[in-house]
A = this chain, B = another copy of it.
Amino acid sequence: MNAAVQELLATLGPDLVKVGDDIPQRNWADQVGLEPQRPLALLLPRSTDDVSKALAICHRHRQPVVTQGGMTGLAGGAHPGEGEVALSLERMNGIEEVDAASGTLTALAGTPLYLIQRAAEEAGLMCGIDLGARGSCTIGGNVSTNAGGNQVLRYGMARKNVLGLEVVLSDGRVVRSLNKMMKNNAGYDWTQMFIGSEGTLGVVTRVVLSLHARPRNIQTAVLAVKDVSDAIKVLRAAEKALPGGLLVFEAMWSEFYGIATTTIGVPAPIERGHDLYLLVEAPTGDAGPEAFENFLGEMYEAGLVRDAVVAKSRAERDKLWALRESVYEYGKHLPKQIGFDVSIPLNRMPEAVAALRRDMPNAVDGVIWVVFGHVADSNLHINAMPPRYTPEAKLKIEKLVYDLTASLGGSVSAEHGIGRMKKPYLSMTRTGPELALMATVKQALDPLGILNPGRVL
């Protein structure tokens, strides 16, 4: 047993420090399919003070530490590396305050997102962060990765929902600003550095979120449009005509819609054969659905919307959403996928889709592929399913997607982060001076490089 683990055990005791067979499989791997790796030890702090003591010891021993939340990451950030101690926030789970007057919620970093969403709802408000992994991802992980998800168009990435943080630095020092105020220009907003830096600069232990009013009477529709240029025109028109704009704007190109309504078997609310389908939602408050329906009528008359179906009930809404959610059923019906999470500036998105259609079939013979995504926030998801999943096929498709992304000024990671998996591609989106500046910040905050080493940079 190495000296760091010995001192951790001696100081924190066997309840907080697990070794050997006492380390559950859960902490050996995240969701990306890397070879599971048992960490040297598993730390299970119950308090910020525990985290502080643990990091002070690791710092003294130059012991690398990987921080773990809900283990739902898609970039390998929380996946243990050889010789790393895992620091799991799972026991630091709890909502400390919902302040309905201030519109804020304070929680420990290990609190699962769905518990935060529920607590906000019980106070008559809502959490602006939502993503598929809500049942197991933690708010600390959401903040550390600057999580995106389904509501970014309206509420922004995780960063825009964070008002305050408590962070433990690499040497164990605790820095706290449990700020509840929208306006606070008293010195540097140091919390920004820890949002989206994927645990490489410090360990987030507490989070203050701003909450939002829950929009009333949400209208849901699926629209068919000619192409992504028209889709963006519809988006801008909606933002002007509807006082609450749009909450949801999910694009599904014809390849995606085709698979959803044939292979997966979701009923087609609009006939196949259009180029692009949009799932949109708009809040209408107490004003009734007329404004939304009038808006769609105007778009139809203007030729921007070719066909539209509006949900008239909860059941109809669920059927429209089943189109978008068909992608979660691919595993049962289709070959193994290579998934992409990229951003493309909206003005280049037509080129991106045209290039994918031109080049994807030539990249790998017989590849099945789809493109879809939130679009309005610049995010495209591309799933490619080669007939045989070989390293060569994977490489060819990755090269196609990332070269295209870089050539259009896009980002190789829209919302999943860099972690370990996208490190080879980071320099396609970031320049040398940017990477040097990131390294300067890393050096200043974690000079020994013990926090999530090998991730991001």
A156-B160, A417-B185 given; A241·B216 CB < 8 A = yes
**Residue in B160, B195, B438 whose beta carbon sits within 8 Å of that of A160 in the complex:** B160
CA distance A2 to B296 in the complex (A): 68
Pick out which of these stretches binds chain B: A42-50, A242-250, A307-315, A360-368.
Answer: A242-250
CA distance A215 to B216 in the complex (A): 19
| A346 CB contacts on chain B under 8 angstroms | 99, 101-103, 180
**Residue in chain B with minimal CB distance to A238:** B213
Pick out which of these stretches binds chain B: A56-64, A86-94, A168-176.
Answer: A168-176
In contact, B285 and A241 (Cβ under 8 angstroms): yes
Least CB distance, A380 to chain B, in whole angstroms: 10
In contact, B213 and A236 (Cβ under 8 angstroms): yes
**Residue in B152, B184, B193, B415 whose beta carbon sits within 8 Å of that of A192 in the complex:** B193
The count of identical subunits is: 2
**Residue in B181, B232, B236 whose beta carbon sits within 8 Å of that of A414 in the complex:** B181
In contact, B286 and A241 (Cβ under 8 angstroms): yes
**Residue in chain B with minimal CB distance to A344:** B181
In contact, B413 and A378 (Cβ under 8 angstroms): no
**Residue in B243, B343, B412, B417 whose beta carbon sits within 8 Å of that of A244 in the complex:** B243
Pick out which of these stretches binds chain B: A108-116, A267-275, A330-338, A427-435.
Answer: A427-435
CA distance A214 to B237 in the complex (A): 10
- 8 A Cβ contacts from A190-242 to B: 190, 192-193, 195-197, 201, 212-216, 229, 232, 236, 239-242
| A103 CB contacts on chain B under 8 angstroms | 236, 346
**Residue in B179, B347, B379, B418 whose beta carbon sits within 8 Å of that of A187 in the complex:** B418
A102-B346, A434-B177, A444-B440 given; A185·B285 CB < 8 A = no
In contact, A426 and B186 (Cβ under 8 angstroms): yes
Contact digits for A416-457, partner B, Cβ 8 Å, 1 yes 0 no: 111000100010011101111110110111000000000011
CA distance A110 to B231 in the complex (A): 35
CA distance A417 to B176 in the complex (A): 20
In contact, A377 and B411 (Cβ under 8 angstroms): no
| A99 CB contacts on chain B under 8 angstroms | 345-347
| A145 CB contacts on chain B under 8 angstroms | 185
Least CB distance, A201 to chain B, in whole angstroms: 8
Interface size class of A (residues with CB under 8 A): 35 or more
CA distance A159 to B430 in the complex (A): 21
Tell whether A188 is near chain B: CB-to-CB under 8 Å.
yes
Tell whether A182 is near chain B: CB-to-CB under 8 Å.
yes
**Residue in chain B with minimal CB distance to A75:** B185
CA distance A374 to B444 in the complex (A): 37
A181-B411, A229-B101 given; A159·B190 CB < 8 A = no
| A440 CB contacts on chain B under 8 angstroms | 444-445
Tell whether A157 is near chain B: CB-to-CB under 8 Å.
yes
In contact, A413 and B101 (Cβ under 8 angstroms): no
CA distance A409 to B164 in the complex (A): 13
| A174 CB contacts on chain B under 8 angstroms | 433
Interface pairs A-B: 9 shortest CB-CB = A243-B244, A213-B239, A444-B444, A192-B192, A181-B378, A243-B285, A101-B347, A287-B291, A182-B377
New contact pairs (20) apart from A175-B437, A184-B413, A244-B244, CB-CB < 8 Å: A101-B232, A145-B185, A152-B182, A159-B189, A175-B433, A177-B431, A181-B345, A182-B377, A183-B343, A185-B413, A186-B418, A186-B429, A187-B418, A187-B426, A187-B429, A188-B441, A193-B193, A214-B240, A286-B291, A443-B444
